[in-house]
Structure 1
Amino acid sequence: MRARNHRAMTNPHRFRLLALGSLVLGLVAASACSSDDNEATTGGDVDGGKTDGGGGGDAAPLEPFKATVRRTTAGVPHVKADDFGGAGYGYGYAFAEDNLCVLAEEITTVRGERSKYFGDKPYDLGNTASRSNVGSDAYYKMEFTKEVADSYREATPPDAQAMVRGFAAGVSRFVRELKAGQHAGLHAACRDAGWVREISDEDLYLRFYKLNLLASSATFIDGIVAAQPPGASNGFAPSSPSAGGNASRPSAAEMSKAFETWAPKFVAHREGDLGSNMYAFGSDVTGGAGIQFGNPHFPWYGGERLYQIHLTVPGKMDIQGSTLYGVPVVLIGFTQNFAWSHTVSTAYRFTPYQLKLKPGDPLTYIKDGQEKKITPHDMEIEVKQDDGSIQKKTVRLYTSEYGPMIYLGNSFFDWTDTVAYTIRDANAENNRLIRHFFRWNTAKSLDEFKQIHKEEVAVPWVNTTAADRDGNVYYGDITVVPNVPDALATSCSVGLASQVLNDQAQGLPLLDGSKAACDWQIDADSPQPGIFGAGHLPTLASKDYVVNCNDSYWLSNPKTPVTGFAKIIGQIDYAQSLRTRMCHQQVTDRLAGTDGLSGQGITVENVKEMVLRSRVYSAEKSRDAVTTAFCTNPTIELTKDPLTSEVLSPAVQVPVTDACTALKAWDTRNNADSKGSLLWDEFWLRVIAVQSKVRVYNTAFDPKDPLNTPRDIKVDEPLLAQAFAAAVRSVAQAGFAFDAPRSQFAYREGKNGEHIAIPGGFQRTGNFTIAQKDDIALKAGEGYGAMQFGNSYMQVVGFTPTGVDANTFVTYSESSDPGSDRYDDYTRLYSQKQWLKAAFSEDEVAADTKSTLDLEQ
């Protein structure tokens, strides 16, 4: 295949690649970015756009694909093709240019090959993690099979299948070029690695399957690997299972610790640390067309970063937005007529079952008097040793008819001689993900969008809001949820064990696996047996507004609360998170015209400003009361730090005058230049630490006033005075001035470790603009350090009579490769709050085009 470069009169950076119609076996494309006409040859066998995953075999003709990729400001790719396969091909190639290493690691993970290349060590990919590559590989090899991939492929429409094949072919082409020595300077971390290879559509279908399980099984990998019958061990269980009944009932703190240890990503989802904000404003508040704001708070590392892309197949698809790495369809985005976004839903996607075992046989359980077998699976794992050699290790895992056996993190839930625990995952049975989003990507109206939502019931774990050019708005938690009505959850509970689990995860039923009557029910309108149909899932449509910031469906619009749904979907009449209250407060203030912005209505411009003002709910409601109460004396006696439990003996007199001066002057926001926010973070983290022990508010939560209660911080509570003194001491010991700007102690890392100032703070303190990390610990001279997740892809989309008014950010930029010019350019725009006016129409794209690449194979 020959590459020919020529300059276009309108753009000096335009390159064109031409491919021969038929290929001599073994020849591959030369680099699109090469400055000469040299041909390159690599191995790599291709069959219909698919490879054999790196194995041998005779090469076959490449499936033909053709696309044009134009890059605009911040490197956003605009892919145009005559067919869907071509769109996937151009997208796959552009994506690999930017993020090959991350995608290749994800493929290595779902193939169960981490140990082969990385040895046995822990890993963290953002939304999934494991304490052992070997254990993880065993899980993926058992669950992520060819049959799973085939099921996904068969459920995917032919045009969408072509997009998947095209995407795989585009990635594979870039891999061949990289392995041939092209693209100098890119992907230095992985370009020579054996785990970077051409990929197949099968690899991608397994990648989609992993995304399905991000809020369920994939967060319990270590617990699944650790589940072992009495007397057995595969080296991953925390201790020997007890031989007879359950251990004593664990405390709430013990169960919380168990979940944090064995399912940390599940806990992060449940506590809102990994969350999102979204608004959809209708004509009642805009006076015209709808406006959609979307902002997932996903990790800034790993495969669940979001990538901005524009895909056009004339007459069939024209959509822009973001997608998780490796997915060839847009997951959050906009068309000419509507826009939508997502937030993580409160619904559970799985249920554990307690199995009653046959006496004397821990691998047999009894269901309605019939014996059922627990099946062992011996997974052979290749493990790289320190000397580079490969040794094989066999790991035994177990499954029941419901799914994998599971250890729930505490000896109370051990696999004993009498009971064992297993998990059924609704999203493990959902193969409609790509079909659903492909249909959304090609929908012509919000009405069609809503109908697809109801027909497919395939969205794995996120709420949806949407707005259209006619001023309609929509909220729906039409997601994959086990069909467990409250009555079934009650009748099929297993006593104390169900209570203990529900105390830790309210609404999650632990069901009795000894009765067929406890199997999930079937709705007539459900496309998948065992999940709720759309008629039993919450929605709201209006011309007003809808909002979700990771609390349940209940207050999507507080003027019209949504109720009447099963507890497994979400709660009602419960205290909302501080971030959710901030979400609603911003709308209330905007509509009242009391937020300092112009006018009283909702416009694209004031939404853009509103969502990046970095307001902090806890500070707005409590800062003045705190300074009034705790700043009357120059010192406070500190005896114990409520956060660290450090005991001060003798007690320490903590000077607070300078701290109080800084806190009073603080603007109660977490912008990069805000001064005083560090002290408030340290104080509020300690408030959170004591709220399970003492009352921290004078006015308790009232379900009749859920957005204003609880309120009135209880400043006469002695532990809060201790929290304030400890916070002052913590900041002083870390060596930071009390009025240090936020950028000194919380930032985004750019090239070469450069600190890039960004807005935002922690969701726990009631921030709307999020910049977060897993381990919030103030360190001397470092502060909180580099943030790890938070605002990621952002969009504010409105509609004009002539088109779309779309404004976007990818806060961590389009490329994860430090060798790329696109590694932190978008981040620098975000640092300055300079929204990108997203090019969407042909004229807009043409006017902003920085480079063009014509691809063909």
Structure 2
Amino acid sequence: MFSRSGPRPARRPAQRVGALVATLALVPVGAAVSTATGGSATAAPQVAAAAPTTSAGADARHRPTYHARIERTTHGIPHITADNFGDLGFGSGYAAAETSTCTLADTLLTGRGQRSRWFGPTGTYNDQVTLDASNLQVDAFVTDLRNRHVVEKLLADKVRGPGKQARAMVRGYTAGLNRYLAKVGPQGVTDPACHGAGYLKKRATPLDLWYGVYLANLLASSGVFVKEIVDADPPAPDDPGTPNPTAASIDRDALLKALGKDPESPFGSNATAIGGDATTTGKGMLLGNPHFPWNGRYRFTQQHLTIPGHYNVAGASLIGSPVVNIGWNNNVAWSHTVSTAYRFTPYEYKLVDGATTYATDPGPKTLEHRTVKVTVKQKDGSLKRVSEDLYRTPQGYVVDAPAIFLGWSPSSVWAIRDANAEQLRTVDTFLNMGKAKNVRDLLRRQDAAGGMPWVNTTAADRNGDALYADHSVVPNVPDALAEQCMTPTGRILDQAAGLPGLDGTFADSSCAWGTDEDSQRPGVFGAKNLPSEIRRDWVMNANDSYWLPNPAQPIEGYAGIIGCEQCERTMRTRMVSQYVIDRLASGKKESPRSLRGHEHANRVRAGEVMRQNGDLDTLCDQTGETKACAALHDWDGHSNTTSRGYAIFEEFIARLPAQGVWLTPFDPSDPLNTPRDLNTSNPQLVQAMSDAIGALRDRKIAFDAPWGKLQVAGDRGAPRIPLGGGTGDAAGNANALASRYTKAHGRYRPITYGSSHIQAIAFLSGGRVNARTILTYGQSEDPRSPWSTDQTRMFSQKKWVHFAWTRAQIRKDLVSSYRVSG
């Protein structure tokens, strides 16, 4: 349970030519191209279909607004150079459209509220993170946002809205996308997921993209409740209401899942920053590995953005982001991990009429009733308009979620106030982080922008400082305010999940969110009330709370809504920390090679702990499964593609009971070594092992099958490429991989989630940067592209991309270069 007073929860020439041909196949018709092999600029060869043409007179009248140069190096990585941020955005949008057209277009039509128009109302939109609703539900929600002009108002707000450079990037990005699609046309898009789609004909607007950004901001808040918002209706007079819960009666895992924090399918990442006192270089180093979906909206692409003499940053961007989200410049590198903080609070309002009139301290008020009309595609292809109703209070949307005690009953109704719904500063935040000179400057810029939506930041710099910070957008609800304002049900939510449910009667007065002197805007915590730590040895985060970035210096004294203190760490957190601890304990400092080596070591921390004193063997022997236990005994303790017997451990971990696993419980004074000592006398554990072995037998899988024969790439169109790594939190794989939202098609474990854009950055003497990266699923989402699986094969082989950072490196690694304008 959470509580406020205690624990809360040398490539060959032939290869170069092949890469060049692959690149040219994606360059739009008519774009000027100069290649890595030299020669004058030529027109690129025509792709799948002829590009739309214009008259010579029209071309003469057209004076391009935007200009950028795109240079693609090996694996299709674009290096975009421009004179200003608008042009830079144009190049970024153009390059993204070349390799991610379908997801980019899908993101934009979602931001228009037009999913039902193209895909029908009953189809499901699953962003593979938190949003899982019908097209109609998503469209109704988005349509109401648009009817309320939410983003337009934020764009007009000088405090909550974006700055000039961010606006220029977004305008340029959509112009770049439009220019690419105007060149190739819908029939020229080769990706079968959207080839020839009618929605590709519609020009994107900056507002479409801003709505896409806004919806991404809501991922951990309103986005979790789209179904419950759209389906909320006043109760019938005889509605019995939600039974009064107790903390002991709540299924905590089910509650966390409904709140967007599913412990069985966590949304997370790892990041480790090493300071100069612990590196062989005396300078900072970073290993970052975000664990994100391999398909869809939250897929990364790599890019390098340069305005000569002014801006130079590289890394990864989510599709639809014109700026680098995770990356580095010449002086600082950073990565992100999903934070434990909540981005919203539910408010409970007492109803005075049993339906839509609620009490406030000034007097009764009526819920705002809103009706939206959505165009939907019927089975015969015709279109019709359907209506949906939504309700609001001044704090936010009403939800009806009785399963998590936020039901709309005759006695009360709940609404969500969402801190990320009140800002559009995310693009500014990432844009300005790219200008940082060191980790302190990075954090200062992040705080000034105030738009880090739902992630921690871990960073290292050339000076040798290492930073951990959770300076994300968090409602300003200190513990004292929570204690004062929680309703009885709201207190149960807090005890079970760390989320205080507040009294809506006083939502505009004594129970309103606070504002600090250093808050970027009203209602959120300022930097002084958010946790951070700068050290010279090391810090890390693997999605547990802010409490323990380094065991030598726990962070304590912050509001419960941000996360728990003195609380148990996952096995993945313990593994990520242990890599560094073991390296330093051996008397060696971290080198660039050793730090990036942790990514592919594929140690399994839960296995290491359970094997102490021979406990795992003892437990297995009690099943009587001699052959299987021999395979488990001979397992090498890793999740490499060559590891045999690991499948038994994966199946066992998946069946662990909630209680009774360990003899030595968690101890806050020894957080990275407890709990421990496997409870070999627990019959539930023996049964879990027996069931694990039986599951493999039923599927006719050999107990000693190599792990790489079982765990393979599973993203769209991927061949069966063997992959190392495995389950994260429970098993303790830092190289966390999972199979979600996919059909097996005869595969044991097709991977669609986990390690994604991995970067190992080390700052060297003489202003040099050692940059190694891997984009596990490849730069292109089009299965027909050679850039769809090339990096996946490298990932399988534990190889790294030598990222071309300097001009000399880019020239050496260049496979194509072309200028785009529009």
- Same fold per superposition (TM over 0.5): yes
> How far 1:622 moved relative to its partner?
0.7
Report the secondary structure of 1:169's partner residue. helix
Query: Which amino acid in structure 2 is aligned with residue 795 of structure 1?
Result: Q
Q: Does the 8 Å CA contact 1:285/1:602 hold for their aligned counterparts?
A: yes
The answer to whether 1:102 aligns with 2:91 is: no
Q: Does the 8 Å CA contact 1:7/1:13 hold for their aligned counterparts?
A: no
- 1:201 maps to which of 197, 206, 210: 206
State the partner residue of 1:524: 517
The answer to whether 1:323 aligns with 2:321 is: no
The answer to whether 1:544 aligns with 2:556 is: no
Query: Which amino acid in structure 2 is aligned with residue 206 of structure 1?
Result: Y
Q: Distance in 2 between matches of 1:422 and 1:590?
A: 49
> How far 1:492 moved relative to its partner?
0.6
Query: Which amino acid in structure 1 is aligned with residue 343 of structure 2?
Result: R
Q: 1:740 to 1:377 in 2, by over 3 A?
A: same
Report the secondary structure of 2:779's partner residue. coil
> How far 1:834 moved relative to its partner?
0.9
Q: 1:550 to 1:145 in 2, by over 3 A?
A: farther
> How far 1:590 moved relative to its partner?
1.0
> How far 1:62 moved relative to its partner?
6.7
Report the secondary structure of 2:220's partner residue. coil
Matches within 5 A, 1:617-656: 617-623=605-611, 625-632=614-621, 636=623, 655-656=624-625
State the partner residue of 1:501: 493
- 2:596 maps to which of 600, 608, 613: 608
Matches within 5 A, 1:592-607: 592-593=585-586, 600-607=588-595
Q: Does the 8 Å CA contact 1:734/1:780 hold for their aligned counterparts?
A: no
Q: Does the 8 Å CA contact 1:87/1:166 hold for their aligned counterparts?
A: yes
> How far 1:685 moved relative to its partner?
1.5
Q: Does the 8 Å CA contact 1:794/1:808 hold for their aligned counterparts?
A: yes
> How far 1:839 moved relative to its partner?
0.4
Report the secondary structure of 2:476's partner residue. coil
Matches within 5 A, 1:25-104: 33-34=45-46, 40-41=52-53, 64-104=65-105
State the partner residue of 2:816: 851
The answer to whether 1:770 aligns with 2:736 is: yes
Q: Does the 8 Å CA contact 2:664/2:674 hold for their aligned counterparts?
A: yes
* TM-score normalized by the length of structure 1: 0.87
> How far 1:145 moved relative to its partner?
5.2
Q: 1:826 to 1:252 in 2, by over 3 A?
A: farther
State the partner residue of 1:235: none
State the partner residue of 2:171: 165
Query: Which amino acid in structure 1 is aligned with residue 37 of structure 2?
Result: N
State the partner residue of 2:688: 723
Cα RMSD between the aligned structures? 2.7
- 1:392 maps to which of 372, 385, 390: 385
Q: Does the 8 Å CA contact 2:332/2:436 hold for their aligned counterparts?
A: no
> How far 1:816 moved relative to its partner?
0.8
Report the secondary structure of 1:422's partner residue. strand
Report the secondary structure of 2:369's partner residue. strand
Q: Distance in 2 between matches of 1:412 and 1:367?
A: 21
Unaligned stretches of 5+ residues in structure 2: 1-27
Matches within 5 A, 1:144-223: 144=146, 147-154=149-156, 155-179=161-185, 181-182=187-188, 186-196=190-200, 197-223=202-228
> How far 1:198 moved relative to its partner?
2.2
Q: Does the 8 Å CA contact 2:337/2:456 hold for their aligned counterparts?
A: yes
Q: 1:751 to 1:724 in 2, by over 3 A?
A: closer
The answer to whether 1:787 aligns with 2:781 is: no
> How far 1:251 moved relative to its partner?
7.7
Q: Deviations over 1:500-527 (max 9, x none)?
A: 322442x210000011211111111101
Q: Deviations over 1:266-311 (max 9, x none)?
A: 133x666210000110011014110011110011111111111000
Q: Distance in 1 between matches of 2:706 and 2:537?
A: 38
Query: Which amino acid in structure 1 is aligned with residue 666 of structure 2?
Result: F
Report the secondary structure of 2:273's partner residue. strand
Q: Deviations over 1:446-484 (max 9, x none)?
A: 332222123233211100011111111111111110011
Q: Distance in 1 between matches of 2:51 and 2:780?
A: 27
Q: Distance in 1 between matches of 2:772 and 2:736?
A: 18
Q: Deviations over 1:577-602 (max 9, x none)?
A: 11111111111111112xxxxx6110
> How far 1:158 moved relative to its partner?
2.1
Report the secondary structure of 1:358's partner residue. coil
> How far 1:178 moved relative to its partner?
2.5
Unaligned stretches of 5+ residues in structure 1: 18-31, 47-59, 232-240, 594-598, 637-654
Q: Distance in 1 between matches of 2:51 and 2:663?
A: 75
> How far 1:147 moved relative to its partner?
3.0
Query: Which amino acid in structure 1 is aligned with residue 556 of structure 2?
Result: T
State the partner residue of 1:20: none
Query: Which amino acid in structure 1 is aligned with residue 111 of structure 2?
Result: V
Q: Does the 8 Å CA contact 2:35/2:816 hold for their aligned counterparts?
A: no
Report the secondary structure of 1:794's partner residue. strand
Deviates more, 1:706-715 or 1:365-374: 365-374
Q: Does the 8 Å CA contact 1:331/1:437 hold for their aligned counterparts?
A: yes
Q: 1:851 to 1:552 in 2, by over 3 A?
A: same
Q: Deviations over 1:19-49 (max 9, x none)?
A: xxxxxxxxxxxxx553899873379xx9xxx
The answer to whether 1:450 aligns with 2:458 is: no
Q: Distance in 1 between matches of 2:196 and 2:745?
A: 38
State the partner residue of 1:580: 573
Query: Which amino acid in structure 2 is aligned with residue 161 of structure 1?
Result: R
Q: Does the 8 Å CA contact 2:80/2:305 hold for their aligned counterparts?
A: yes
Q: 1:458 to 1:10 in 2, by over 3 A?
A: closer
Query: Which amino acid in structure 2 is aligned with residue 140 of structure 1?
Result: V
Q: 1:839 to 1:252 in 2, by over 3 A?
A: farther
> How far 1:684 moved relative to its partner?
1.5
Report the secondary structure of 1:322's partner residue. strand
State the partner residue of 2:722: 757
Q: Distance in 2 between matches of 1:187 and 1:431?
A: 32
> How far 1:159 moved relative to its partner?
2.6
State the partner residue of 1:667: 636
Q: Deviations over 1:481-508 (max 9, x none)?
A: 001111111111111x123322442x21
Matches within 5 A, 1:174-323: 174-179=180-185, 181-182=187-188, 186-196=190-200, 197-231=202-236, 243-249=239-245, 255=251, 259=255, 266-268=260-262, 273-287=266-280, 288-323=282-317
The answer to whether 1:826 aligns with 2:795 is: no
Q: 1:804 to 1:411 in 2, by over 3 A?
A: closer
Q: Distance in 1 between matches of 2:151 and 2:544?
A: 33
Deviates more, 1:843-852 or 1:252-261: 252-261
Q: Which has the higher contact order (CA 8 A, sep 6+)?
A: 2
Q: Distance in 2 between matches of 1:413 and 1:161?
A: 38
Q: Does the 8 Å CA contact 2:515/2:525 hold for their aligned counterparts?
A: yes
State the partner residue of 1:433: 426
Matches within 5 A, 1:373-388: 373-388=366-381
Q: Does the 8 Å CA contact 1:79/1:90 hold for their aligned counterparts?
A: yes
Q: Deviations over 1:703-756 (max 9, x none)?
A: 111111111011011111111111111111111000111122221037855201
Report the secondary structure of 1:480's partner residue. coil
> How far 1:68 moved relative to its partner?
0.8
Query: Which amino acid in structure 2 is aligned with residue 797 of structure 1?
Result: I
Q: Does the 8 Å CA contact 2:35/2:815 hold for their aligned counterparts?
A: no
Q: Distance in 2 between matches of 1:780 and 1:67?
A: 43
Q: Does the 8 Å CA contact 1:14/1:852 hold for their aligned counterparts?
A: no
State the partner residue of 1:22: none
Q: Distance in 2 between matches of 1:36 and 1:181?
A: 7
Q: Does the 8 Å CA contact 2:241/2:408 hold for their aligned counterparts?
A: no
> How far 1:408 moved relative to its partner?
2.5
Report percent identity of matched pairs: 37
Q: 1:254 to 1:16 in 2, by over 3 A?
A: farther
Q: Distance in 1 between matches of 2:398 and 2:615?
A: 50
Q: 1:501 to 1:271 in 2, by over 3 A?
A: farther
Q: Distance in 1 between matches of 2:494 and 2:382?
A: 47
Q: 1:257 to 1:243 in 2, by over 3 A?
A: farther
* TM-score normalized by the length of structure 2: 0.90
Q: Distance in 2 between matches of 1:15 and 1:827?
A: 32
Deviates more, 1:144-153 or 1:86-95: 144-153
Q: Does the 8 Å CA contact 1:242/1:416 hold for their aligned counterparts?
A: no
- 1:512 maps to which of 503, 509, 514: 503
